[in-house]
């Protein structure tokens, strides 16, 4: 198969002026939207979609690619500066990004996030160019039993996020699982813990939860911290960009794991990119010689998280363009955009509209590349100025931003109160030493695990125990044992031997 | 003066809430209740563990860590936010922000009018441009438009 | 029915709404009760510019998503809005009819001013290409001989896909195991061979015939979208089920507004450019004016209430 000729054929159309303009515009809109909690790439593309009806399809797709990739990086900006994840996928970025910013290295943290996002996006686009049709088979092969085990895999990663106090860490995870359960039960559609509130029926939106849990507690704590409340500015520490670029090789190992997870999870419909970051972060921490530094401002944590959530981007589009099955909610809107222009996903898309689909893949690559200059110069410098705002002024600003963000998710005042409630919950948790990260993981994975488990049990009509007997399930179980159960056992045995000797 | 360790309050609270949750979950259908019970039963146990552990620790060391660093300022920000949320419904988002930001900043001890006005104006402009103009998000209606119209 | 609507409209007029000769004088808000980017949302955003065009006089439409509780939150907002013709919403069947029957909503569809229907997407039964099932009779016979062994992917329980499957069970005595998948996951599960058969609408199936076979659609007659696909009726199974998407406003909307909107929607549906967009998206256009749509809803409501009384589809 000649791989490069369709790409080369598509290239000239991508490099025309209106097209480049659409990509640059898209990336800028994406960064802004991503950096504002409550505004998502999905929402922006859906709202801007009608504007693209009259455009050339490739120009429209370029804009969408830009918004998609831009937003994934944009989410890291408030995550680092204010500990507010701009998008759910940026939750993990807060773990080390915010401590780094507090240490006066916000500029450096932003640069690492930017480079990781950009390279993650580019590598993801390459996977899409090279392997889209074969990779789409993964999507079809993973039914509920297989996805259930992937969810368990993710839950096993929670160990890394529990913190020093085990009972409290576990309690946090349970709180997350509980919050994820609120709403209609995934199979029988019975109300669970909705207390008769219609607004709770479709569950709690992760954005509302995250904004409340992450943004409000620091406001309350900053306000309480009288000594530092007035004045006290934070240094930004922008080291020359080239110097940061030269540090890239240090992150290769982490990036390759994040890449694997990003592509794999991207291919699974229903599993969102937010969970890739957790897996990549866990792997990075396990591999590190200095795991203690994670969560205290280790840039490797940011690299894992941001590379992971951008590596998910183009991968989530693979089943979208080959099978018409969107791998994420953004992919679903982009599919809407393809359909409006008469581009029907499936093998025919590659045969009949090769120029457009390969052009789109190139755009996914280029928009990630453009992120570096656009994000690096303009956006990052501009946004980092937020830290120059004095704290007593920053507190009400964050509160107002959280309000508008929570409101915009579903245009609901109820959600704003819910967000505030989660803010108070987060405050109590922070004061009593309950870690926040397991909550997020529980909320993301709980519904995934429960619904796929119950669907699997329904599917098992011949009592074949499909959860354990399907080949891919068996492979996943073996991997689970190898990576999570064996290492601690092994460590224990070695420690014993060492003591005996 | 003898007081109670934070963990005792936390653990007991969690155990009681989780127990109430179990009571409710028992009313769900056969399949729908399994997962809630799998989460809530361990939550009761963990709550008790944390409470007992906190109590023992306090008996041993006699320490009771403070919950609030500054109750007054906490109440100021939390109360201010609650007021802003109430205001949101009646005044609209932009108006509420235009009031909340300067008032809260001043209340927290920041007294320089120029930066306050500039930041507030910048925030409002950002929200207006991004949320309302570009993405046409329907924010809660401003009180002015309601008074003016109809 | 029509007279009631008319008299209610008259009351609305008396209640102080100004004369509407120049309707619309300000932007019209269309409430979409589902999230941005979903099927209903994209459909409305696609048709909105055409409706604006045919309303004329620089009319403008604002799309507002009010999501939650399977549409009830958005519909409640429409229900509570002022009936001046400037707030209308998208209504979809079966939910607008079944949710009140389930007791989840405080309104029924009769509490709205029905404007027009735009889309009727028939339910369809689909299998992976190369499946052992070649037609509905084969499927039903197998499911009769092996009760509960045939897995059928559907959307949420109580949705149109599930109701369609239940109707088939009722008619034939066959027994399926229903497996509720969210969103397009039902098609994914069918294409991946994780279920024996998938119940999802023709619009979701028609463009994927490379990897799935459509055994039949549950409509009175074949669809223009896929004329080669037989109906279940032709195959001897009298089951009709579909999902409709139309427009409605709060009760008591002025007649002029309803007529103008209905006319604009009718013209939009006949616009060749829009028809092309719709075809691309797998949208099955089927315009029905207020009276016809009301009659359809009424018939559907009666049928559903009968089923609910005999054997509720939810616990």
Terminal alpha carbon distance of chain C: 33
Half-sphere exposure of B72 (CA within 13 A, CB side): 3
Residues B76 and B128 reside in one and the same domain: yes
Residue B1's pLDDT is what?
A: 39
Chains touching B, CB cut-off 8 Å, 3+ pairs: A, C
Please tell me if residue B144 touches chain A, with a CB cutoff of 8 Å.
Answer: no
Q: Among B25, B42, B61, identify where a domain stops.
A: B61
Residue A393 to residue B105, Cβ atoms within 8 A: yes
Residue A235's pLDDT is what?
A: 64
Domain ranges of chain C: 2-119+242-310, 121-217
Residue C6's pLDDT is what?
A: 47
Residue A184, classed as helix, strand or coil, is strand
Residues B82 and B36 reside in one and the same domain: no
Residues B75 and B130 reside in one and the same domain: yes
Residues B80 and B50 reside in one and the same domain: no
Q: Cα distance from B7 to chain A (closest Cα, Å)?
A: 7
* Regions in chain C scoring below 50 on pLDDT: 1-19
Please tell me if residue A324 touches chain C, with a CB cutoff of 8 Å.
Answer: yes
Residues B75 and B140 reside in one and the same domain: yes
Please tell me if residue A36 touches chain B, with a CB cutoff of 8 Å.
Answer: yes
Please tell me if residue B136 touches chain C, with a CB cutoff of 8 Å.
Answer: yes
CATH of C2-119+242-310, one of 3.40.50.300, 3.90.920.10, 3.40.605.10, 3.40.190.150: 3.40.190.150
Please tell me if residue B61 touches chain C, with a CB cutoff of 8 Å.
Answer: no
Residue to mutate among A47, A68, A202, with most C CBs inside 10 A, is A202
Q: Cα distance from C216 to chain B (closest Cα, Å)?
A: 33
Residue A431 to residue B36, Cβ atoms within 8 A: no
Rounded to whole angstroms, the Cα distance separating A177 from A444 reads 8
Look up the pTM and report it.
0.86
Query: To which residue do tokens 């807060």 refer?
Result: A94
Please tell me if residue A44 touches chain B, with a CB cutoff of 8 Å.
Answer: yes
Residues B51 and B76 reside in one and the same domain: no
| Bigger pLDDT: C135 vs A132 | C135
Residue A489's pLDDT is what?
A: 83
Structure confidence at residue A320 as a pLDDT band (50, 70, 90): confident
Handedness of CA B32, B35, B40, B45 (dihedral sign): positive
Residue C45 to residue A198, Cβ atoms within 8 A: no
Residue C37's pLDDT is what?
A: 64
Q: Among B37, B61, B85, identify where a domain stops.
A: B61
| Bigger pLDDT: A224 vs A17 | A17
Structural domains counted in chain B: 2
Rounded to the nearest angstrom, the gap between the alpha carbon of residue A498 and the centroid of all alpha carbons in its chain is: 41
Tens-place pLDDT, residues A223-261 = 887 555 444 456 666 777 788 888 889 999 999 999 999
> What is the enclosing helix (H) or strand (E) of B143?
helix B143-148
Please tell me if residue A413 touches chain C, with a CB cutoff of 8 Å.
Answer: no
Residue B7, classed as helix, strand or coil, is helix
Tens-place pLDDT, residues B55-106 = 888 888 877 677 787 888 888 899 999 999 999 988 889 999 999 999 999 8
Tens-place pLDDT, residues A280-290 = 999 999 888 88
Residues B57 and B125 reside in one and the same domain: no
Residue C100's pLDDT is what?
A: 87
3-state SS of chain C?
Answer: CHHHHHHHHHHHHHCCCCCCCCCCCCCEEEEECCCCCCHHHHHHHHHHHHHHHHHCCCCCEEEEECCCHHHHHHHHHHHHCCCCCCEEEEEECCHHHHHHHCCCCCCCHHHEEEEEEEEEEEEEEEEECCCCCCCHHHHHHHHHHCCCCEEEEECCCCCHHHHHHHHHHHHHCCCEEEEECCCCHHHHHHHCCCCCEEEEEHHHHHHHCCCEEEEEECCCCCCCCCCCCCECCCCCCCCCCEEEEEEEEECCCCHHHHHHHHHHHHHHHHCHHHHHHHHHHCCCEEEEEHHHHHHHHHHHHHHHHHHHHHCCCCC
Residue C14's pLDDT is what?
A: 44
What does each C-alpha distance from C133 to A65, A254, B117, C172 come to in angstroms?
41, 48, 71, 16
Residues B57 and B75 reside in one and the same domain: no
* In the predicted structure, residue A345 carries a pLDDT above the cut 70: yes
Sequential DSSP letters for B28-46 = S-TTTTHHHHHHHHHHHHH
What's the whole-number mean pLDDT along residues A324-349? 81
Domain span at residue B30 reads 6-61
Residue B21 to residue A431, Cβ atoms within 8 A: no
Residues B38 and B99 reside in one and the same domain: no
Task: Enumerate the residues of chain C whose CB falls inside 8 A of the CB of residue B138.
Answer: 29, 62, 64
Residue B45 belongs to some domain of the structure = yes
Residues B77 and B137 reside in one and the same domain: yes
Residue B40 belongs to some domain of the structure = yes
User: In this structure, are residues C79 and C110 in contact, taking their beta carbons and an 8 Å threshold?
Assistant: no
For A176, residues 6+ apart whose C-beta sits below 8 A from its C-beta are: A438, A439, A440, A441, A442, A443, A446
Task: Enumerate the residues of chain A whose CB falls inside 8 A of the CB of residue B73.
Answer: 223-224, 226, 229
Tens-place pLDDT, residues C264-313 = 999 999 999 888 888 877 788 889 988 999 999 998 888 888 888 887 87
Task: Enumerate the residues of chain A whose CB falls inside 8 A of the CB of residue B70.
Answer: 223-226
What's the whole-number mean pLDDT along residues A63-69? 93
- Give the phi and the psi of residue C288 in degrees, each rounded to 5: -140, 135
Residue C62 to residue B136, Cβ atoms within 8 A: yes
Q: Cα distance from A285 to chain C (closest Cα, Å)?
A: 34
Please tell me if residue B27 touches chain C, with a CB cutoff of 8 Å.
Answer: no
* In the predicted structure, residue B149 carries a pLDDT above the cut 80: no
What is the CATH T-level fold of the domain C121-217, as seen in this structure? D-Maltodextrin-Binding Protein; domain 2 (3.40.190)
Task: Enumerate the residues of chain B whose CB falls inside 8 A of the CB of residue A411.
Answer: 137-138
Residue A458 to residue C177, Cβ atoms within 8 A: yes
Chains touching C, CB cut-off 8 Å, 3+ pairs: A, B
Report ipTM (2 d.p.). Answer: 0.92
Tens-place pLDDT, residues B116-137 = 999 999 999 988 888 888 777 7
Residues B10 and B42 reside in one and the same domain: yes
Residue A233's pLDDT is what?
A: 55
Residue B138 to residue C315, Cβ atoms within 8 A: no
Residue to mutate among C37, C159, C280, with most A CBs inside 10 A, is C37
Structure confidence at residue B21 as a pLDDT band (50, 70, 90): very high
| Bigger pLDDT: C25 vs A170 | A170
Residue B114 belongs to some domain of the structure = yes
């Amino acid at each position: 198969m000649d791989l490069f000729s369709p790409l080369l054929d598509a290239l000239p159309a991508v490099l025309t002026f209106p097209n480049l303009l659409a990509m640059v515009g898209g990336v800028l809109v994406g960064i802004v939207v991503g950096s504002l909690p409550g505004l998502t790439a999905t929402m922006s593309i859906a709202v801007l979609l009608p504007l693209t009806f009259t455009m050339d399809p490739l120009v429209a797709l370029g804009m969408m690619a830009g918004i998609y990739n831009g937003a994934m990086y944009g989410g890291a900006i408030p995550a680092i500066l204010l500990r507010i994840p701009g998008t759910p996928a940026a939750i993990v970025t807060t773990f080390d990004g915010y401590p780094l910013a507090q240490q006066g290295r916000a500029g450096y943290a932003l640069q690492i996030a930017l480079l990781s996002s950009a390279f993650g996006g580019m590598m993801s686009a390459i996977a899409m160019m090279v392997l889209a049709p074969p990779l789409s088979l993964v999507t079809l092969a993973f039914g509920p039993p297989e996805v259930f085990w992937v969810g368990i895999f993710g839950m096993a990663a929670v160990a890394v996020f529990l913190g020093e106090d085990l009972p409290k860490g576990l309690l946090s995870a349970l709180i997350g699982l509980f919050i994820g359960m609120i709403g209609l039960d995934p199979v029988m559609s019975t109300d669970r813990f909705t207390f008769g509130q219609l607004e709770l029926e479709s569950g709690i939106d992760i954005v509302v939860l995250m904004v409340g849990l992450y943004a409000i507690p620091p406001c309350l704590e900053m306000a309480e911290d009288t000594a530092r409340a007035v004045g006290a500015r934070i240094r930004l520490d922008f080291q020359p960009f080239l110097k940061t670029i030269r540090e890239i090789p240090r992150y290769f190992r982490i990036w390759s794991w994040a890449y694997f997870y990003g592509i794999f999870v991207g291919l699974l419909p229903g599993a969102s990119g937010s969970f890739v970051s957790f897996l990549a972060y866990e792997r990075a921490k396990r591999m590190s010689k200095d795991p203690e530094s994670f969560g205290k401002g280790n840039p490797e944590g940011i690299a894992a998280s941001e590379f992971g959530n951008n590596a998910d981007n183009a991968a989530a589009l693979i089943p979208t363009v080959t099978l018409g099955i969107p791998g994420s909610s953004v992919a679903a809107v982009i599919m809407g955009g393809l359909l409006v222009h008469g581009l029907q996903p499936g093998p025919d898309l590659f045969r009949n509209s090769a120029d457009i689909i390969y052009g789109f893949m190139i755009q996914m690559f280029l928009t990630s590349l453009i992120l570096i200059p656009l994000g690096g110069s303009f956006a990052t410098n501009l946004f980092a100025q937020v830290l120059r705002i004095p704290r007593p002024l920053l507190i009400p600003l964050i509160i107002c931003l959280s309000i508008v963000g929570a409101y915009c998710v579903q245009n609901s005042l109820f959600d704003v109160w819910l967000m505030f409630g989660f803010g108070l919950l987060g405050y109590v948790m922070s004061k009593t030493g309950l870690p926040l990260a397991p909550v997020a993981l529980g909320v993301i994975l709980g519904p995934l695990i429960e619904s796929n488990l119950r669907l699997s049990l329904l599917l098992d009509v011949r009592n074949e125990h499909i959860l354990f007997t399907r080949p891919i399930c068996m492979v996943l179980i073996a991997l689970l044992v190898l990576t999570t159960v064996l290492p601690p056992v092994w460590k224990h045995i070695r420690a014993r031997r060492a003591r005996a000797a | 003066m003898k007081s109670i360790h934070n963990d005792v309050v936390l653990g007991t609270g969690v155990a009681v809430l989780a127990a109430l949750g179990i009571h409710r979950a028992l009313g769900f259908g056969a399949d729908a209740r399994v997962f809630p019970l799998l989460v809530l039963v361990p939550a009761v146990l963990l709550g008790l563990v944390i409470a007992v552990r906190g109590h023992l620790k306090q008996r041993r060391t006699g320490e009771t860590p403070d919950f609030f660093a500054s109750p007054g300022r906490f109440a100021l920000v939390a109360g201010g936010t609650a007021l802003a949320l109430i205001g949101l419904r009646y005044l609209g988002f932009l108006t509420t922000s235009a009031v909340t930001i300067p008032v809260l900043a001043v209340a927290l001890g920041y007294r320089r009018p120029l930066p306050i006005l500039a930041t507030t104006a910048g925030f409002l402009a950002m929200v207006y441009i991004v949320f309302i103009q570009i993405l046409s998000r329907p924010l809660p209606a401003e009180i002015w438009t309601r008074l003016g119209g109809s | 029915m029509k007279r009631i609507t008319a008299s209610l409209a008259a009351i609305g007029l008396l209640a102080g709404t100004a004369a509407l000769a120049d309707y619309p004088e300000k932007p019209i808000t269309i409430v979409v009760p589902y999230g941005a980017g979903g099927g209903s949302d994209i459909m409305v955003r696609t048709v909105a510019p055409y409706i604006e065009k045919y309303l004329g006089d620089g009319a403008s439409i604002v799309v507002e998503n009010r999501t939650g509780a399977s549409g009830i939150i958005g519909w409640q907002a429409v229900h509570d809005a002022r009936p001046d013709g400037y707030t209308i919403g998208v209504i979809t069947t079966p939910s607008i009819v079944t949710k009140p029957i389930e007791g989840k909503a405080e309104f029924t569809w009769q509490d709205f001013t029905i404007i027009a229907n735009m889309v009727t997407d028939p339910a369809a039964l689909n299998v992976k290409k190369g499946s052992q099932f070649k037609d509905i009779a084969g499927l039903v016979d197998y499911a009769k001989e092996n009760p509960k062994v045939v897995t059928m992917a559907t959307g949420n329980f109580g949705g149109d896909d599930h109701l369609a499957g239940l109707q088939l069970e009722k008619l034939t005595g066959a027994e399926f195991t229903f497996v509720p998948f969210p969103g397009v996951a039902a098609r994914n599960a069918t294409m991946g061979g994780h279920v024996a058969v998938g119940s999802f609408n023709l619009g979701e199936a028609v463009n994927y015939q490379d990897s799935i076979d459509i055994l039949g659609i549950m409509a009175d007659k074949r669809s223009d979208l896929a004329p080669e696909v037989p109906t279940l009726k032709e195959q001897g199974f009298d089951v009709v089920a579909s999902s409709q998407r139309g427009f409605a406003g709060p009760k008591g909307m002025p007649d002029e507004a309803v007529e103008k909107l209905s006319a604009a929607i009718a013209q939009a549906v006949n616009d060749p450019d829009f028809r092309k967009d719709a075809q691309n998206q797998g949208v099955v256009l089927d315009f029905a004016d207020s009276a016809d749509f009301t009659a359809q809803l009424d018939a559907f409501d009666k049928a559903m209430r009968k089923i609910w009384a005999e054997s509720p589809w939810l616990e």
